[in-house]
A = this chain, B = another copy of it.
Amino acid sequence: MLEEKPLRADARRNRAKVLAAAEAVFTAKGMSAPTEEVAKAAGVGVGTLFRHFPTKEALLEAVLQEHLRRFAAEAVRWAGVDDPGNAFFAFLKQWVEMAATKNAYTDALAAAGTRAPEAAGVRDEVVGALRTLLTRAQDAGTVRSDVGVTELIALMVGTSRGAEHLGGDPALRQRMLEIVFDGLRPSPR
């Protein structure tokens, strides 16, 4: 288990500022935005940025992880809700709505599997939370029993890409979502 060396207070603050700036900048201008712009947005010199994230890729990775962490947290939150049958769909809907505008979130989820070893922890968190949510809904009988987490993730990734593609119109998005949701429900009889 890797020791996370305790950063000095200001160093931690800088790291956070950079991460936030990176999210903002990359979301706005795509991942090919110059690193220097991120630094500027963070109010830091490039040097500082590179001290915290030795590579642009590392920075992107960190942003991804951050997203995953939030995803996991949110999933856990919904997993604790009383009505598991609806919680599942509610979570999905909320997620898709959000991811539709910030494709970075979808990227993060999509990357959940493929990532480097260090990311394993977060991935497990995500998958775990999702599995809980799924299983409970299946137990409650609102979701067909032959769906696994893997397909679920693929479906979520796909659905949010589709939603993203649909752009602004919420009604259209809703209709697409209904189709997928119907597909997820147990077939009658």
Contacts and interface: CB of A to CB of B under 8 A. Distances in A.
Interface of A: 32, 110, 144, 146-148, 150-151, 153-155, 157-163, 165-166, 172, 175-176, 178-184, 187-189
A146 B176 CA distance: 10
A110 B165 contact: yes
B166 A150 contact: yes
Given A180-B179, A180-B183, A187-B182, A155 B162 contact: yes
Contact of A172 (B154, B178, B183): B154
A161 B166 contact: no
Chain A contact residues: helix, strand, loop or mixed: helix
A166 B155 CA distance: 9
Q: Closest 10 A-B residue pairs measured CB to CB?
A: A158-B162, A183-B183, A158-B158, A179-B183, A154-B162, A161-B161, A182-B183, A154-B166, A151-B176, A158-B161
